[in-house]
Amino acid sequence: MSLLNIKPLLNKKAMGMALFGFSAGLPLLLIFSTLSVWLVKAGVERSTITLFSWAGFAYSFKFLWSPIVDHCRLPFLYKMGHRKSWLFLSQLMIILSIILTSYTDPSQNLIYTAIAVVLIAFSSATQDIVIDAFRIESDSIKKQGALSSMYLAGYRIAMIVSGAGSLWLASYFGVDTYDTNTWKKVYQMMACLMLVGIFATYISKEPSIIKKRKTSSQISFFLALVVSVVIFFLIYNFLPSFFHKKTIVLNSIEGLLKIIISFSGSLLILFLFSKTKLISLNRARIAYIDPIRDFFDRYKKIALFILMLIGLYRIADIVMGVMANVFYLEKGYQIEEIATYSKFFGLFATIAGGFLGGLYSMHKGVIQSLLVGAVIAALSNVLFAWLAISDISILFLISVITLDNIASGFAGASFVVYLSSLTSVKFTATQYALFSSIMLFFPKLIAGYAGGIVDLIGYPFFFIFTAVLGLPVLFLIYLIKDTSLSK
C-alpha cells in the first residue's frame, strides 16, 4: 500500500473531522501566540507574557471535568445526542468568552484579561474533550491516522486564521500605536468564525457507541466538582510565596508546591461532600478511579513509562513555542512578516507535516512514527538558535519556520494517533483527557518561566536548552516499543 495513498483522508468522516479541527484550533492562538503580540504592544513585560501560557493549565486539568462530559446528560440539549450537546454548549461558551476578552485592556488592568483568557481556555479544553471522544468513537484504530490527520489539518487552518489572520487584521486596523479598539475588532471577528464549529456540530452524526448516561444523579456530583475547582484556584491564588529569593528553580518548586497544596484542598472538599452524602464515593470511583485502573490493568508495568512519554513528548515544542512571537518581535521582524511567514506559510508546512505523520503512522507503525517525530522536533529547535545569532533575513526566517513546522506537524499527528490507541472505548473521553492533560502539564509549567530563562541565558542557549529537553523521549520510546496498541 503506497504511502502516498490519500484516499483514506477524503471520506465523509475524515472531512467532518477537519471541520471539528478548525473549531478546536481557532481559540488556541487567541490565548497564546496572538495574545502575546497584543501583550507586547500593550507594554507588558516579557516574563509576565510567558506566565500567560499558564492559561493552558485548563487543558492540563481537563481530566477533572472530563467524567462529567463523558457521563452527564445535558437537560434539553441531550436530544441532539450526547456528544453533540456538549459540543454545542462548549462552542457557545468559547464565543462568549472571546467576546468578553475583546472588551478587556491589558495595558490598564491585566487581571481582567487573564480571567477572560482563562475562560476561553476552559471552554476550549471542554470542547477538546468532546471532539477527542467523538473522533475515537467514530472509527476503528486502523482508521484513526486518517481522522487525526484531517483533524490536525482543520486545526492548523484555524491557526492560520487566528494566527496570521488576526495579525493581518491588527496590522490593517493599525498597530503602530497601541489602540485597544484594534484588538477588540480582531477578537470579535474571531468569535464570529467560531460559528464554523457550531455548523459542524449541526451537520455531524452522533457516534454509534452507546453508554449509560445519567442526569439527576450527576447534578450534585457536577456542583461538587465545580466547587472543588474554584477552591483549587482560590488556594493557589492566595497562598503566600514560600521563598524570598526568586530564581527559576525556586519559582518552579514553588509552583509545584502550590499546585500540590491546592489539589489537596480540592480533594478535601470532595471528601467532605462525600461524608455529607451530597456526592457518592461510588460515583467518584467510576468517574476517576476506574479509567486509571483500566489503563494500568491493560499496560501493567509499562504503564508508568507510557505516562512519562506522554508527559515529555511535546516538551521541546511547547516550551520553545511560547517564546516564538516574542523572539520574532525582539529580533526585529515586523508583525506583517510574522503573520505571513510564521502564521500563514508556516502553518501550511505544519499541515503538510501532519499529513506525513498520519500517513507514516498508518503504513510504518505508530512507534516508528513517534521516534521520527521526536528526533526531528528536537533538532528543529536548534535551527532557532542559529536564527537567533544570524542577521535579520526573511530567507532564514522562512527556512527555519518551514522546517520546524513540518517537524512539529509530523510529531503532532503521530502523537495523536498514539494517544488514541491507548484509550479504552469504556472510558474514551476521560482517558484521552487524562493523557492530553499529562502531555501539557509539565511543558506548560516550564513554559511559564520561559521568559525568565531567556533573561538568564539568552535566546541562542534557550533554544538549545529546549532541544535537549526532548532527548529523554527517545529513551522512553525505546522502552515502550513493544507495547500492544489495541483498544
Q: Write the pLDDT tens digit of every residue in 277-300.
A: 666 666 666 666 788 888 888 888
Q: Is-above-0.85 flag for pTM? A: no
At 3 the pLDDT is 46
CA-based nearest residue to 215, from 398, 410, 72: 72
Question: How many Å apart are CA 167 and CA 174, to the nearest integer?
Answer: 10
Is residue 94 helix, strand or coil? helix
Q: 389 vs 39, 208, 376, 393, 461, CA distance in Å? A: 25, 54, 21, 11, 10
Instruction: Pick the range with the lowest mean pLDDT from 46-60, 215-229, 325-339, 349-363.
Output: 215-229
Taking each helix axis as running N to C, give the angle between helix 428-447 and helix 290-299, from 0 to 180 degrees, rounded to the nearest 10. 90
Instruction: Report the candidate in 123, 158, 121 with the shortest Cα–Cα distance to residue 18.
Output: 158
Say which range, 13-27, 82-96, 134-148, 394-408, has the weakest mean pLDDT: 134-148
Positive or negative: CA dihedral 230, 231, 235, 236: negative
Res 179 pLDDT > 70:
yes
**pLDDT category of residue 1 using cuts at 50, 70 and 90:** very low
- Cα angle for residues 438, 13, 481 (degrees, 5° grid): 40
Which of the pair, 386 or 72, is modelled with greater confidence? 386
Domains of the chain are 7-479 (1.20.1250.20)
Q: Of 42-51, 196-205, 346-355, give the lowest mean pLDDT range.
A: 42-51
Confidence band (pLDDT; 50, 70, 90) for 87? very high
Better pLDDT: 63 or 216: 63
- Closest-CA residue to 385 (of 467, 459, 466, 469): 459
Asked whether the beta carbons of 120 and 94 are under 8 A apart, the reply is yes
Q: How far apart are CA 5 and CA 28, in angstroms?
A: 31
Reported as a pLDDT band with limits 50, 70 and 90, residue 29 is confident
SS3 content of the chain, % helix, strand, coil (to 5): 80, 0, 20
